[in-house]
Amino acid sequence: MILVTGGAGFIGANFVLDWLALNGEPVVNLDKLTYAGNLESLASLQGDARHIFVQGDIGDSALVAGLLATHRPRAVVHFAAESHVDRSIHGAEDFIQTNIVGTFRLLEAVRGHWGALPEPERTGFRFLHVSTDEVYGSLAPDAPAFTETHGFEPNSPYSASKAASDHLVRAWHHTHGLPVVTTNCSNNYGPYHFPEKLIPLMIVNALAGKPLPVYGDGMQVRDWLYVKDHCSAIRRVLQDGRLGETYNVGGWNEQPNIEIVRIICGLLDELRPRADGASYAQQITYVKDRPGHDRRYAIDARKLERELGWKPAETFATGIRKTVQWYLDHPEWVENVQSGNYRQWVQAQYGTPGAA
């Protein structure tokens, strides 16, 4: 049995689905079900006794302690986080509460549980903290990619809150001996991605005939990691990662944002052509850049390959085609996830009527 936090979110849901499909070990899934948590992503697990879903907050110490005592998981995989830069700029408090205070309370509950375990359960226990490359800050165009020893230089409220959570996890290992490992990943994409992030937003807007809002000049560079590859890396680190260590997880796929949008438009031109025969690229609209927008992230994932033998299975070309096809095949998921709150947020963020 393992406990997964945030397992109804984008990466968490993919992880839970893959975990149960590949090894069948039961999962207790704790998720607060904020706007980005979606049980429809886990619909295929309805009635599956191996999946125990609990709606709740990682900051609820009594709830977490009760789950640990009842289910006695051998590991905790911690995805739960507020994770959108734009939202953090407009309202940082949720990020502070969930990513910092919530992680602190989770660590304390887990520490109490772990400390009372008998051997060999205590020795075998693991706490895997899932984090982001954004804690490292921004890279110059010709700078080498982030390694695990790169200093933290977070530039947004979101990345600052995640950096703080990384520090807490490290401190609980060094101070209390809690058996932790941390992963810092690059930008994920793939199925079940909430359409506020770049790739799903572009797909959904394109199909709806709406503007494709691109920040600034669109030349912000990101490393793109297919979510299923990320999940395989987490499984590998959970199994054999060295205690107290950090492992960067990347896709070796650096691309500027505008090129990502053009690739998506090209795939949609091929797979779902517009009725008027024009390219979806005509819908690209440049909007005012967001404050403090980092220009480049890049992950050096060689440590993970060297120590644990992990490499991504997907190139960006194969992963993005699978992603676009998934959204074309699941319009009902997209429709149901787009709540009124989401549409209001996009209106406030981009200031473009219908840019949802």
Residues annotated as part of the active site: 133-134, 158
CA distance 160 to 95: 9
Tokens for 284, please give them.
Answer: 């690209």
Closest CA to 157 of 100, 233, 222, 211: 100
* Alpha-carbon dihedral 182, 186, 192, 194, rounded to 10 degrees: 110
Closest by CA to 77, choosing from 248, 243, 234, 193, is 234
Question: What gap in Å lies between CA 105 and CA 107, rounded to an integer?
Answer: 5
Q: Are 276 and 203 in contact (CB under 8 A)?
A: no
Query: Quick one: which H or E segment has residue 303?
Result: helix 302-308
**Amino acid identity of 196?**
E
Residues 30 and 3: beta-carbon distance below 8 Å: yes
Confirm if 10 and 192 have CB atoms less than 8 A apart.
yes
